[in-house]
C-alpha cells in the first residue's frame, strides 16, 4: 500500500480539509427541461431533468403530489476499465438514495398526478460519484424551474491512514478506511443524506460530518455561482422593468 498522506499533505497535493477543483454549468442539454454539469477534480457528471409531465406507467400516479424518477448511471468509459452497460445493484442503490434526497426538497405537492424524471450520467469517476451526481441533479432541477426548498450540496469526508480528510478521491477511496458522503441544505442547516462505509469513533464521526458540511457549503456557493452566470442577466432585466 502506497503512502497517501505525508506531513498532512495528500497524494494529490491537497491539504486534509481541501476540496478538489470545481466546475459547474447549467443548461447544457437543449432538449431537457433543465440540465447541468458538475465536476470535482477528475469526477464529473451531467444531469438532465424532464417534467413535470404526464407520468407513465399510470399506476404510479399520486393524486396529491408528483412522483420522482431518478436514474444514476456510470458511463462505460467513466473508469480505466470499461464498465458493462446496464443496471447494477450499486447504481440502483445510489439512484434510490439520490431520489429520496431530491424528493425531500422538491415541492412535490405543486404537481399532483405528474412525474419528474432525473437522469444522472457519470462521465468520469475518481471517487465521490454520488456526491458529484447529486450536485449536478440539484442544479438541473433549478435550471428546470422546479420549485425546491433550496439547492442540495453534497460532499464526502473520509478517513485515511488515521486522519480525517475532505472530498475523498482516487486511492483514498480504494485504500482509505472510511468514506462518508452527505447531502446538505445550508438554508435549513439540515442533512438529507448520510451514508458511511467503514469504522470510525463517535468523536471522529462528529468531526467528519462537520468537515463534510463545510465542504458542502463551498460546493453550494459554486452551484449558486453557476446559476447566476446563466440567469443573472435576467435579474437585471427584471429590476430595470420595475424601475421603469
Tens-place pLDDT, residues 154-201: 999 999 999 999 999 989 998 999 999 999 999 999 999 999 999 999
Q: Is residue 161 part of a domain?
A: yes
Q: Is residue 199 part of a domain?
A: yes
Report the number of distinct structural domains present in the chain.
1
> Does residue 244 carry a pLDDT above 70?
no
CA distances from 66 to 51, 122, 240 (A): 10, 26, 36
CATH code at position 165: 3.30.230.70
At residue 3, the pLDDT reads 86
Q: Is residue 242 part of a domain?
A: no
**Residue 2 banded pLDDT, cuts 50, 70, 90:** low
> Does residue 123 carry a pLDDT above 60?
yes
- The pLDDT tens digits of the residues spanning 95-112 come to 999 999 999 999 999 999
At residue 1, the pLDDT reads 46
Among 114, 112, 116, which residue's Cα sits nearest to residue 63? 112
Q: Is residue 62 part of a domain?
A: yes
Q: What's the mean per-residue pLDDT of the chain?
A: 92
Q: Is residue 2 part of a domain?
A: no
At residue 60, the pLDDT reads 84
- The pLDDT tens digits of the residues spanning 53-63 come to 998 888 888 89
Q: In the numeric block, which cell numbers belong to residue 27?
A: 443548461
> Does residue 11 carry a pLDDT above 80?
yes
36 with 28: CB under 8 angstroms? yes
CA 104 to chain centre: 14
The boundaries of the domain holding residue 142 are: 10-231
Q: Is residue 176 part of a domain?
A: yes
Residue percentage of the chain with pLDDT more than 70? 94
Q: Is residue 4 part of a domain?
A: no
> Does residue 92 carry a pLDDT above 70?
yes
> Does residue 237 carry a pLDDT above 50?
no
Instruction: Give the span between the Cα atoms of 196 and 89, in whole angstroms.
Output: 17
Q: Is residue 132 part of a domain?
A: yes
Q: What is the DSSP letter of 107?
A: -
**Stretch 113-135: mean pLDDT, rounded?**
97
Amino acid at each position: 500500500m502506497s503512502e497517501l498522506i505525508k506531513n498532512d499533505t495528500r497524494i494529490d497535493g491537497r491539504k486534509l480539509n481541501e476540496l478538489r477543483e470545481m466546475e459547474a454549468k447549467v443548461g447544457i442539454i437543449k432538449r431537457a427541461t433543465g440540465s447541468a454539469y458538475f465536476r470535482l477534480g477528475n469526477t464529473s457528471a451531467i444531469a438532465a431533468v424532464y417534467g413535470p409531465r404526464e407520468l407513465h406507467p399510470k399506476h404510479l400516479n399520486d393524486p396529491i403530489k408528483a412522483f420522482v424518477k431518478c436514474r444514476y448511471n456510470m458511463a462505460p468509459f467513466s473508469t480505466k476499465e470499461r464498465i458493462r452497460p446496464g443496471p447494477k445493484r450499486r447504481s440502483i442503490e445510489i439512484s434510490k438514495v439520490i431520489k429520496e434526497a431530491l424528493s425531500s426538497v422538491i415541492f412535490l405537492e405543486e404537481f399532483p398526478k405528474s412525474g419528474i424524471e432525473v437522469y444522472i450520467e457519470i462521465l468520469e469517476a475518481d471517487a465521490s460519484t454520488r456526491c458529484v451526481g447529486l450536485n449536478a441533479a440539484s442544479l438541473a432541477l433549478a435550471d428546470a424551474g422546479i420549485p425546491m426548498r433550496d439547492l442540495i450540496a453534497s460532499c464526502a469526508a473520509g478517513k485515511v491512514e488515521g486522519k480525517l480528510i475532505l472530498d475523498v478521491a482516487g486511492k483514498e477511496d480504494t485504500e482509505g478506511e472510511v468514506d462518508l458522503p452527505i447531502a446538505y441544505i445550508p438554508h435549513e442547516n439540515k442533512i438529507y443524506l448520510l451514508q458511511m462505509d467503514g469504522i470510525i469513533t463517535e468523536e471522529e464521526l462528529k468531526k467528519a460530518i462537520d468537515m463534510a458540511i463545510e465542504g458542502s457549503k463551498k460546493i453550494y456557493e459554486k452551484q449558486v455561482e453557476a446559476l447566476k452566470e446563466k440567469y443573472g442577466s435576467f435579474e437585471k432585466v427584471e429590476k430595470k422593468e420595475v424601475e421603469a
